[in-house]
Protein backbone atom coordinates (compact mmCIF):
# COMPACT_ATOMS: atom_id res chain seq x y z
CA UNK A 1 0.00 0.00 0.00
CA UNK A 2 1.14 3.54 -0.65
CA UNK A 3 3.02 5.54 1.91
CA UNK A 4 0.49 8.31 2.52
CA UNK A 5 2.18 10.16 5.35
CA UNK A 6 2.31 13.94 5.24
CA UNK A 7 5.42 15.87 6.08
CA UNK A 8 4.02 16.85 9.49
CA UNK A 9 3.52 13.21 10.49
CA UNK A 10 -0.21 13.02 9.81
CA UNK A 11 -1.54 10.46 7.36
CA UNK A 12 -3.76 10.79 4.30
CA UNK A 13 -6.66 8.41 4.78
CA UNK A 14 -9.00 9.99 2.26
CA UNK A 15 -9.15 12.20 -0.80
CA UNK A 16 -11.60 14.96 -1.67
CA UNK A 17 -13.22 14.72 -5.11
CA UNK A 18 -13.88 18.34 -6.04
CA UNK A 19 -16.07 17.25 -8.95
CA UNK A 20 -18.42 20.05 -9.92
CA UNK A 21 -18.04 21.90 -6.64
CA UNK A 22 -17.19 25.14 -8.47
CA UNK A 23 -20.80 25.23 -9.72
CA UNK A 24 -22.77 25.32 -6.42
CA UNK A 25 -25.83 26.92 -8.02
CA UNK A 26 -26.16 23.97 -10.40
CA UNK A 27 -25.79 21.12 -7.87
CA UNK A 28 -29.48 20.17 -7.79
CA UNK A 29 -29.85 20.46 -11.57
CA UNK A 30 -26.74 18.34 -12.13
CA UNK A 31 -27.98 15.78 -9.61
CA UNK A 32 -31.31 15.40 -11.43
CA UNK A 33 -29.59 15.28 -14.82
CA UNK A 34 -27.09 12.60 -13.79
CA UNK A 35 -29.82 10.64 -11.98
CA UNK A 36 -31.97 10.49 -15.11
CA UNK A 37 -28.93 9.54 -17.21
CA UNK A 38 -27.94 6.80 -14.76
CA UNK A 39 -31.43 5.27 -14.57
CA UNK A 40 -31.86 5.43 -18.36
CA UNK A 41 -28.42 3.96 -19.02
CA UNK A 42 -28.85 1.04 -16.63
CA UNK A 43 -32.42 0.34 -17.80
CA UNK A 44 -31.44 0.41 -21.48
CA UNK A 45 -28.41 -1.82 -21.07
CA UNK A 46 -30.13 -4.29 -18.75
CA UNK A 47 -32.96 -4.52 -21.29
CA UNK A 48 -30.45 -5.47 -24.00
CA UNK A 49 -28.90 -8.13 -21.77
CA UNK A 50 -32.31 -9.65 -20.95
CA UNK A 51 -33.36 -9.73 -24.61
CA UNK A 52 -30.09 -11.30 -25.76
CA UNK A 53 -30.34 -14.00 -23.09
CA UNK A 54 -34.09 -14.67 -23.52
CA UNK A 55 -34.48 -14.75 -27.32
CA UNK A 56 -32.69 -17.63 -29.01
CA UNK A 57 -32.72 -15.71 -32.32
CA UNK A 58 -30.23 -13.36 -30.72
CA UNK A 59 -27.85 -16.16 -29.76
CA UNK A 60 -25.29 -15.15 -32.38
CA UNK A 61 -21.75 -13.75 -32.05
CA UNK A 62 -22.88 -10.19 -32.87
CA UNK A 63 -25.55 -10.09 -30.17
CA UNK A 64 -23.31 -11.94 -27.75
CA UNK A 65 -20.80 -9.09 -28.11
CA UNK A 66 -23.60 -6.53 -27.77
CA UNK A 67 -24.74 -8.24 -24.58
CA UNK A 68 -21.18 -8.06 -23.27
CA UNK A 69 -21.01 -4.36 -24.17
CA UNK A 70 -24.27 -3.68 -22.32
CA UNK A 71 -23.02 -5.57 -19.26
CA UNK A 72 -19.80 -3.59 -19.39
CA UNK A 73 -21.64 -0.26 -19.73
CA UNK A 74 -23.85 -1.09 -16.74
CA UNK A 75 -20.82 -1.88 -14.57
CA UNK A 76 -18.95 1.10 -16.00
CA UNK A 77 -21.67 3.61 -15.15
CA UNK A 78 -22.30 2.08 -11.73
CA UNK A 79 -18.62 2.51 -10.87
CA UNK A 80 -18.82 6.27 -11.39
CA UNK A 81 -22.28 7.83 -11.17
CA UNK A 82 -23.49 6.66 -7.72
CA UNK A 83 -20.47 8.38 -6.14
CA UNK A 84 -21.08 11.50 -8.26
CA UNK A 85 -24.77 11.56 -7.24
CA UNK A 86 -23.87 11.20 -3.57
CA UNK A 87 -21.45 14.10 -3.79
CA UNK A 88 -23.99 16.33 -5.54
CA UNK A 89 -26.77 15.52 -3.10
CA UNK A 90 -24.94 15.49 0.24
CA UNK A 91 -21.98 17.74 -0.65
CA UNK A 92 -19.82 14.99 0.92
CA UNK A 93 -17.00 14.62 -1.59
CA UNK A 94 -14.59 12.60 0.52
CA UNK A 95 -13.48 9.13 -0.52
CA UNK A 96 -11.12 6.85 1.35
CA UNK A 97 -7.72 6.04 -0.11
CA UNK A 98 -8.71 2.39 -0.52
CA UNK A 99 -12.08 3.38 -2.02
CA UNK A 100 -10.34 5.72 -4.46
CA UNK A 101 -7.89 3.02 -5.54
CA UNK A 102 -10.73 0.50 -5.90
CA UNK A 103 -12.79 2.89 -8.02
CA UNK A 104 -9.82 3.58 -10.26
CA UNK A 105 -9.10 -0.13 -10.67
CA UNK A 106 -12.60 -0.99 -11.86
CA UNK A 107 -13.02 2.21 -13.87
CA UNK A 108 -9.69 1.84 -15.66
CA UNK A 109 -10.19 -1.88 -16.23
CA UNK A 110 -13.63 -1.34 -17.77
CA UNK A 111 -12.29 1.44 -20.02
CA UNK A 112 -9.55 -0.86 -21.31
CA UNK A 113 -12.03 -3.72 -21.73
CA UNK A 114 -14.41 -1.52 -23.72
CA UNK A 115 -11.64 -0.44 -26.08
CA UNK A 116 -10.73 -4.07 -26.74
CA UNK A 117 -14.36 -5.16 -27.04
CA UNK A 118 -15.21 -2.40 -29.54
CA UNK A 119 -12.33 -3.53 -31.75
CA UNK A 120 -13.53 -7.15 -31.47
CA UNK A 121 -17.06 -6.07 -32.46
CA UNK A 122 -15.71 -4.21 -35.49
CA UNK A 123 -13.74 -7.33 -36.46
CA UNK A 124 -16.91 -9.41 -36.17
CA UNK A 125 -18.75 -7.02 -38.53
CA UNK A 126 -15.75 -7.03 -40.88
CA UNK A 127 -15.91 -10.81 -41.18
CA UNK A 128 -19.69 -10.82 -41.60
CA UNK A 129 -19.72 -8.19 -44.35
CA UNK A 130 -16.35 -8.56 -46.09
CA UNK A 131 -15.80 -12.34 -45.71
CA UNK A 132 -19.28 -13.85 -45.29
CA UNK A 133 -18.25 -17.26 -46.65
CA UNK A 134 -15.60 -17.66 -43.95
CA UNK A 135 -17.64 -16.07 -41.15
CA UNK A 136 -18.99 -19.29 -39.60
CA UNK A 137 -15.54 -20.90 -39.55
CA UNK A 138 -13.68 -17.89 -38.15
CA UNK A 139 -16.36 -16.83 -35.68
CA UNK A 140 -17.17 -20.22 -34.15
CA UNK A 141 -18.57 -20.61 -30.63
CA UNK A 142 -15.08 -21.11 -29.28
CA UNK A 143 -13.68 -18.12 -31.19
CA UNK A 144 -16.17 -15.51 -30.05
CA UNK A 145 -16.03 -16.74 -26.46
CA UNK A 146 -12.24 -16.42 -26.55
CA UNK A 147 -12.42 -12.94 -28.08
CA UNK A 148 -14.90 -11.68 -25.50
CA UNK A 149 -13.10 -13.39 -22.61
CA UNK A 150 -9.76 -12.05 -23.84
CA UNK A 151 -11.16 -8.50 -23.86
CA UNK A 152 -12.30 -8.74 -20.23
CA UNK A 153 -9.18 -10.51 -18.98
CA UNK A 154 -6.85 -8.21 -20.93
CA UNK A 155 -8.55 -5.06 -19.65
CA UNK A 156 -8.48 -6.09 -16.00
CA UNK A 157 -4.94 -7.52 -16.11
CA UNK A 158 -3.60 -4.47 -17.93
CA UNK A 159 -5.04 -2.02 -15.42
CA UNK A 160 -3.74 -4.14 -12.53
CA UNK A 161 -0.27 -2.88 -13.47
CA UNK A 162 -1.16 0.80 -13.10
CA UNK A 163 -3.26 0.21 -9.98
CA UNK A 164 -0.40 -1.63 -8.30
CA UNK A 165 1.97 1.17 -9.33
CA UNK A 166 -0.34 3.84 -7.87
CA UNK A 167 -0.58 1.92 -4.61
CA UNK A 168 3.20 2.25 -4.26
CA UNK A 169 3.22 6.04 -4.69
CA UNK A 170 3.86 8.42 -1.80
CA UNK A 171 1.15 11.01 -1.14
CA UNK A 172 2.29 13.92 0.99
CA UNK A 173 -0.56 16.35 0.40
CA UNK A 174 -2.67 18.08 -0.69
CA UNK A 175 -5.46 15.51 -0.99
CA UNK A 176 -7.95 17.36 -3.22
CA UNK A 177 -8.59 15.73 -6.62
CA UNK A 178 -9.86 18.19 -9.23
CA UNK A 179 -12.13 15.60 -10.83
CA UNK A 180 -15.41 13.77 -10.23
CA UNK A 181 -13.70 10.36 -10.11
CA UNK A 182 -10.40 8.81 -9.08
CA UNK A 183 -8.36 8.74 -12.26
CA UNK A 184 -4.73 8.07 -13.06
CA UNK A 185 -3.49 11.55 -14.01
CA UNK A 186 -5.02 13.46 -11.03
CA UNK A 187 -3.65 10.84 -8.61
CA UNK A 188 -0.16 10.98 -10.11
CA UNK A 189 -0.23 14.79 -9.86
CA UNK A 190 -0.93 14.52 -6.11
CA UNK A 191 1.95 12.15 -5.43
CA UNK A 192 5.36 13.28 -4.22
CA UNK A 193 7.18 10.86 -6.53
CA UNK A 194 8.84 11.67 -9.82
CA UNK A 195 5.90 11.49 -12.26
CA UNK A 196 7.94 10.52 -15.32
CA UNK A 197 7.89 6.77 -14.69
CA UNK A 198 4.12 6.71 -14.16
CA UNK A 199 3.54 8.99 -17.15
CA UNK A 200 5.64 6.68 -19.34
CA UNK A 201 3.75 3.63 -18.09
CA UNK A 202 0.41 5.35 -18.67
CA UNK A 203 1.48 6.37 -22.19
CA UNK A 204 2.48 2.80 -23.09
CA UNK A 205 -0.77 1.35 -21.75
CA UNK A 206 -2.93 3.94 -23.50
CA UNK A 207 -1.16 3.05 -26.75
CA UNK A 208 -1.82 -0.66 -26.23
CA UNK A 209 -5.38 -0.44 -24.95
CA UNK A 210 -6.74 2.61 -26.79
CA UNK A 211 -4.74 3.72 -29.81
CA UNK A 212 -4.04 0.24 -31.22
CA UNK A 213 -7.69 -0.94 -30.83
CA UNK A 214 -8.84 2.38 -32.34
CA UNK A 215 -6.62 1.92 -35.41
CA UNK A 216 -7.79 -1.70 -35.80
CA UNK A 217 -11.40 -0.52 -35.53
CA UNK A 218 -10.84 2.17 -38.17
CA UNK A 219 -9.26 -0.40 -40.50
CA UNK A 220 -12.22 -2.74 -40.05
CA UNK A 221 -14.77 -0.02 -40.77
CA UNK A 222 -12.76 1.22 -43.76
CA UNK A 223 -12.95 -2.28 -45.27
CA UNK A 224 -16.63 -2.54 -44.35
CA UNK A 225 -17.54 0.80 -45.95
CA UNK A 226 -15.50 -0.06 -49.05
CA UNK A 227 -17.42 -3.34 -49.38
CA UNK A 228 -20.76 -1.60 -48.81
CA UNK A 229 -20.07 0.87 -51.61
CA UNK A 230 -19.86 -2.08 -54.00
CA UNK A 231 -23.43 -3.22 -53.18
CA UNK A 232 -25.51 -2.90 -56.40
CA UNK A 233 -28.76 -1.98 -54.62
CA UNK A 234 -28.92 1.70 -53.73
CA UNK A 235 -31.40 1.02 -50.93
CA UNK A 236 -29.27 -1.75 -49.44
CA UNK A 237 -26.15 0.36 -49.74
CA UNK A 238 -27.75 3.34 -47.99
CA UNK A 239 -29.18 1.17 -45.20
CA UNK A 240 -25.90 -0.61 -44.50
CA UNK A 241 -23.90 2.62 -44.74
CA UNK A 242 -26.26 4.40 -42.33
CA UNK A 243 -25.83 1.66 -39.72
CA UNK A 244 -22.05 1.45 -40.02
CA UNK A 245 -21.55 5.21 -40.12
CA UNK A 246 -23.51 5.70 -36.88
CA UNK A 247 -21.41 3.00 -35.22
CA UNK A 248 -18.21 4.60 -36.51
CA UNK A 249 -19.23 8.07 -35.28
CA UNK A 250 -19.94 6.83 -31.74
CA UNK A 251 -16.74 4.77 -31.65
CA UNK A 252 -14.68 7.69 -32.96
CA UNK A 253 -16.10 10.08 -30.35
CA UNK A 254 -15.38 7.55 -27.59
CA UNK A 255 -11.79 6.89 -28.65
CA UNK A 256 -11.05 10.53 -29.53
CA UNK A 257 -12.15 11.87 -26.14
CA UNK A 258 -10.27 9.07 -24.38
CA UNK A 259 -7.05 9.71 -26.28
CA UNK A 260 -7.21 13.49 -25.74
CA UNK A 261 -7.72 13.03 -22.00
CA UNK A 262 -4.79 10.66 -21.55
CA UNK A 263 -2.30 11.56 -24.29
CA UNK A 264 -2.37 15.36 -24.11
CA UNK A 265 -0.59 17.09 -21.20
CA UNK A 266 -2.90 18.34 -18.46
CA UNK A 267 -2.57 22.09 -18.03
CA UNK A 268 -4.69 24.51 -16.02
CA UNK A 269 -6.41 25.59 -19.24
CA UNK A 270 -7.12 22.01 -20.37
CA UNK A 271 -8.14 20.72 -16.92
CA UNK A 272 -11.83 21.72 -17.12
CA UNK A 273 -11.99 20.76 -20.81
CA UNK A 274 -10.69 17.28 -20.00
CA UNK A 275 -13.30 16.99 -17.25
CA UNK A 276 -16.01 17.65 -19.86
CA UNK A 277 -14.46 15.10 -22.22
CA UNK A 278 -14.42 12.56 -19.39
CA UNK A 279 -18.18 13.11 -18.98
CA UNK A 280 -18.57 12.31 -22.69
CA UNK A 281 -16.87 8.90 -22.63
CA UNK A 282 -17.91 7.85 -19.11
CA UNK A 283 -21.52 9.10 -19.01
CA UNK A 284 -22.89 9.98 -22.43
CA UNK A 285 -21.40 7.10 -24.45
CA UNK A 286 -22.94 4.38 -22.22
CA UNK A 287 -26.24 6.26 -22.55
CA UNK A 288 -26.34 6.23 -26.36
CA UNK A 289 -24.68 2.86 -27.01
CA UNK A 290 -27.88 0.79 -26.44
CA UNK A 291 -29.70 3.00 -28.96
CA UNK A 292 -26.95 3.11 -31.57
CA UNK A 293 -25.86 -0.53 -31.42
CA UNK A 294 -28.98 -2.43 -30.40
CA UNK A 295 -32.37 -0.75 -30.15
CA UNK A 296 -32.27 0.44 -33.78
CA UNK A 297 -31.70 -3.16 -34.89
CA UNK A 298 -34.74 -4.96 -36.34
CA UNK A 299 -33.93 -8.27 -34.63
CA UNK A 300 -33.71 -6.56 -31.24
CA UNK A 301 -36.90 -4.60 -31.92
CA UNK A 302 -38.72 -7.84 -32.79
CA UNK A 303 -37.41 -9.52 -29.64
CA UNK A 304 -38.62 -6.51 -27.64
CA UNK A 305 -42.09 -6.71 -29.21
CA UNK A 306 -42.29 -10.42 -28.37
CA UNK A 307 -41.22 -9.74 -24.79
CA UNK A 308 -43.85 -6.98 -24.46
CA UNK A 309 -46.58 -9.26 -25.84
CA UNK A 310 -45.54 -11.99 -23.44
CA UNK A 311 -45.64 -9.55 -20.53
CA UNK A 312 -49.05 -8.13 -21.49
CA UNK A 313 -50.89 -11.16 -22.80
CA UNK A 314 -49.25 -14.13 -21.14
CA UNK A 315 -46.61 -16.65 -22.21
CA UNK A 316 -45.64 -16.43 -25.86
CA UNK A 317 -42.76 -18.45 -27.22
CA UNK A 318 -39.77 -16.35 -28.17
CA UNK A 319 -38.90 -19.01 -30.70
Confidence band of 11 (pLDDT split at 50, 70, 90): low
Q: Give residue 193's pLDDT.
A: 80
pLDDT digits (tens, 9 = 90+) for 251-287: 888 898 888 888 877 666 677 788 888 888 899 889 9
Identify the CATH class of 14-313: mainly alpha
Mean pLDDT of the chain: 84
Q: Give residue 154's pLDDT.
A: 95
Residue 43 has pLDDT above 80, yes or no: yes
Following DSSP, what letter does each residue of 66-128 receive, concatenated?
A: HHHHHHHHHHHHHHHHHHHHHHHHH---EEEHHHHHHHHHHHHHHHHHHHHHHHHHHHHHHHH
Stretch 27-44: mean pLDDT:
92
Residue 16 has pLDDT above 60, yes or no: yes
Residue 10 has pLDDT above 80, yes or no: no
- Domain locations in the chain as residue ranges: 14-313
Q: Give residue 7's pLDDT.
A: 42
Confidence band of 215 (pLDDT split at 50, 70, 90): very high
- List all residues 6 or more positions away from 159 whose beta carbon is below 8 Å from its beta carbon: 105, 108, 109, 111, 112, 205
Confidence band of 156 (pLDDT split at 50, 70, 90): very high
The reported pTM is 0.88
Residue 180 has pLDDT above 60, yes or no: yes
- Comparing 9 with 264, which gets the higher pLDDT? 264
SS3 percent helix, strand, coil of the chain, rounded to 5, is 75, 5, 20
Least confident window among 51-55, 105-109, 154-158: 51-55
Q: Could you give the CA distance from residue 7 to residue 172 in angstroms, rounded to a whole number?
A: 6
Stretch 9-32: mean pLDDT:
77
The answer to whether the CB of 162 falls within 8 A of the CB of 108 is yes
Longest CA–CA span in the chain (Å) reads: 75
Q: Give residue 236's pLDDT.
A: 66
Residue 314 has pLDDT above 80, yes or no: no
Residue 239 has pLDDT above 60, yes or no: yes
The answer to whether the CB of 17 falls within 8 A of the CB of 87 is yes
**Cα-flanking dihedrals φ and ψ of residue 314, to 5°?**
105, 180
Amino acid sequence: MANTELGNGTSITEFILLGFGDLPELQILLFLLFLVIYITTVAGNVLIIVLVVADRHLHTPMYFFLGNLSCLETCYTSTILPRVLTGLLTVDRTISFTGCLTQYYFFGSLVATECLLLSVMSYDRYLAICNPLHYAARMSDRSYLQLAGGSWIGGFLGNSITTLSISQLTFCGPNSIDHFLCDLIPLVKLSCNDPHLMETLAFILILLFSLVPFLLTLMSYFCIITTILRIPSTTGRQKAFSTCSSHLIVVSIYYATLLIVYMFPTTDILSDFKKVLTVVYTVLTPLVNPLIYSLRNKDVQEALRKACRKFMFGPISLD
